[in-house]
A and B are shown apart, each in its own frame.
Chain A
């Protein structure tokens, strides 16, 4: 069992406050992904958990025991570094066994663990090679193998896939997910790639400037972003935003007005009553009802039509030069210069208040 609790964890480097205070609960066996733009403090948070940095204030507990004063090696965590940090002058076998030799583990036990990890990661035939002679994906496996041999309570991954090419990244993503199912350990994974976060996580922690913006399951974040930042960050391609105001709230529908555009009726209801307040409307590219007939919604002009074969993305502009991205399943017939009319699908729109916080829809 390895529960991890962060209690008001703070970290500053000199006068710069990187993490102003984070509270987080991670339960045993969870796959948690820290995601956020670069410089949001996600790596720092991971290093605080690993023990590579000391917390400025607050407490980190692993299984209810405070570890803030425990050296990194004794916390029962293992880390996979972004650059893999394999010892270049040692063979793969030596890389895997170095940590175990340091705690004077029995030779036979070391061999057993190394071969177990090698079999698990399919790097048995690479054991006598040096890191230089391995490909990126192989190095990645070795780095994970080094973490596995230590049999840690918690695995920490610091952007482990960012040095791989796109194809390999998809493969390794699946591998790590499978590995996690086999090992069942708690894993904390840092990335700036929200696709990695969406596909791998049980729980996503969205960070911005050292503050947790939202914590939740991937689809929960996708469907119910708590604020503008999360809405914009989660989901690829990005959600479309149009600034305007809510002009009328009638039962079962909300009317949204943007400057220079006809009023748009949003099918659905708000949880609270509000009127005539400035707001931002957010609609994901796939949540539009596209029609070619006038009067059915906002008119947009198609700028570029990207045909992916199975999907099409139309880069359009609203009046007032607001860019709108529209997703169409299958192959679109739209061409440059065409005028389309867009309306949101029922209950697939998001309204955000002036401060950026989401205005709840009625379920």
Chain B
């Protein structure tokens, strides 16, 4: 089922990505198509790239206006008699000659500077004449600070997020596919009513049921517990519907054949239905992983203790009333998005290959 390469022999990725309609030269539809695709690429990827690049900027660089595209940092020099490294500036003197000076402090539109070669003499320079000496600099300390400064708490948050995502997705897949199997392959009174009422819950926004959900979770004593986040949403109407629609396409004859092969209903589900629904399961898994990993509202309400925080809650906790530490925030955002990207890249293969034939006829 995964051998998609077999279906389209000899079409490499490059060939696939540069296919066009015109045989010799580009057709106008090719221009249109690639323009549209490029636009999509820009719209989709610019914010992501911006976050990733910005996560390597120093706090000073981040607050600059206009913003720089690449991460820059002021070059500094250690000057005798000063503990801290001082930022370097290129100063154009009255004679038009440029000198490299280190800045001590800035007062209004004047700056006190010293020549690193001659630290005794202080020079007062108008700010307008000085341009900072800058170089490309990847502020990896954003990441190292994030991982070390929180005292290892970040690993705790990561574990919480992972645990919730993995366990909830696994339960979601099992619960949804069992419901979908029943709704697609069994004829029973009220099956349509059941399906419609499941779909009807789509109309109720999650925020509306947040309070009742919290009350139930609280009654069960699961406040501050990861299971309090996992259990309330293991059954998703979209998942049930998607899987049901897919399972409708599995021929009934297969199930009848399995029944004649002494397979119990559970075994039919486990050995026949689930493997054949893997493309739909992959889609549901991606949806589930995405929403669980990025979920904020329910964890915010349920997970009240700091040690039960998820990454998203921890992210939010970097924005306090005292200020926002953007560099840490950005680094963490980048890190948080990475697992999702990998999950998608891995599961996407199953989605595309899932369109391949079911082996019947």
Contact = CB atoms under 8 A, between A and B. Distances in A.
B359 A73 contact: no
B267 A102 contact: yes
Interface in A81-96: 81-89
Scoring A78, A82, A86, A98 by chain B CB atoms within 10 A of each residue's CB, the highest score goes to A98
B361 A79 contact: no
A17 to B, nearest CB: 19
Interface residues of B, number: 23
B262 interface: yes
A141 to B, nearest CB: 15
B260 to A, nearest CB: 5
B254 interface: yes
A174 B179 CA distance: 46
Nearest to A77: B260
Given A85-B360, A88-B359, A102 B253 contact: no
Nearest to A98: B261
Given A73-B262, A89-B1, A98-B261, A81 B357 contact: no
B259 interface: yes
A88 to B, nearest CB: 2
B263 A102 contact: yes
A87 B260 contact: no
A163 interface: yes
A87 B260 CA distance: 13
Interface in B241-269: 251, 253-254, 256-264, 267
Given A83-B251, A89-B1, A98 B259 contact: no
Given A88-B358, A88-B359, A163-B361, A79 B276 contact: no
A102 B261 contact: yes
A85 B267 contact: no
B272 interface: yes
A77 B260 CA distance: 8
Given A81-B253, A102-B267, A86 B359 contact: yes
A103 interface: yes
Interface string A276-302: 000000000000000000000000000
A131 B257 contact: no
Interface string B1-45: 100000000000000000000000000000000000000000000
Interface of B: 1, 251, 253-254, 256-264, 267, 271-272, 275-276, 357-361
Interface of A: 50-52, 71-74, 77-79, 81-89, 98-99, 102-103, 130-132, 146, 150, 163
